[in-house]
Structure 1
């Protein structure tokens, strides 16, 4: 079911999430809600706190991004054999990051209309459970790794604006105030509770 996406200045977006018990009855519906809400908002990732739940769970769809990016640009965002993923990450833990860093622009459904260039590691290793509650330890690179790190930030209470300097935040004061009050044009439902 499509849920409203919590936007800037909601308490849930700045708190650290809890690991979700695998036997929690809401888990299957939470997974469906994350996919439905993300797809409705035409996003590429969404975390549980963005729909008001304090759990360490998120979904990633870098497959659509791979297909949308022109072939000439793919090598900037994806390794040779990488064609993106569509995956649920339950109780993920970051294990390793590469020293190779790269910059790219990021946006966030909880901060509509804000785009920021962020430097992130090219390669990560992560431990997580998938939708079938199977444990995985896997490496991801490029844009997929960036999306995972962005959503992992959400589960730790870190927002895109935390990657911005003080002067940039001051410059964006009125835009952030508009987002906080729900005065933004988006094609998806938002929550400003």
Structure 2
């Protein structure tokens, strides 16, 4: 089932999410619904707060980015051919490498894209959907997507990295999103 993605201004997007246990109700269905929602909205990552759940769960699929890249982009990123994974109760252990800019967007903040600087690698501790424990290091685009989705479970958004003046310039667009004055081609829920 495709779930509505909550828009900027919805309180759950600013909430630090809670850890869950293997007996979390209907977890398998939630994960399946989140994958379906991710693909229906053409995203590469989706966090539970974006579907109005205040839990530490997010999905990442950087494989589709590499599958659709132009020939001149091939071989540019160290994490090709990408990675598809469920992250539960994630905790970033460390980030490394030089920060690099990339034009990011967010399904909860449609029609806004900005260059955001993030470290090139991330080491993260997490459980997968079967609650097998992992500690892995990711780099390139995959590391960026993980950091972006991890921010969601920490109550942060990519626009928080913008300089105050730039954020002020976007305020009108952000207000329009909060009021539901934006058209998207996926299911969206706006703040009441």
**TM-score (normalised: structure 2):** 0.95
1:20-169 equivalences under 5 Å are 20-76=20-76, 78-79=77-78, 82-169=80-167
Please state how far the C-alpha of 1:169 moved relative to its aligned partner.
1.8
Task: Show CA shifts across 1:29-59 (max 9, x none).
Answer: 2111211111110100000000000000000
* Number of aligned residue pairs: 191
Aligned CA-pair RMSD: 1.2
For 1:131, what is the secondary structure of its paired residue? coil
- Bigger mean CA deviation after superposition, 81-90 or 46-55: 81-90
Deviating runs (4+, > 2 A) in structure 1?
A: none
Report the 3-state secondary structure (helix = DSSP H, G, I; strand = E; otherwise coil) of the residue aligned with 1:17.
Answer: coil
Using the alignment, how far apart are the partners of 2:91 and 2:80 within structure 1? 22
For 1:163 and 1:74, the matched residues in 2 are separated by 28
**What is the CA–CA distance in structure 1 between the aligned matches of 2:97 and 2:2, rounded to whole Å?**
38
**Which has the larger displacement, 171-180 or 49-58?**
171-180
Cross-structure match for 2:179:
181
TM score, norm. by length of structure 1: 0.95
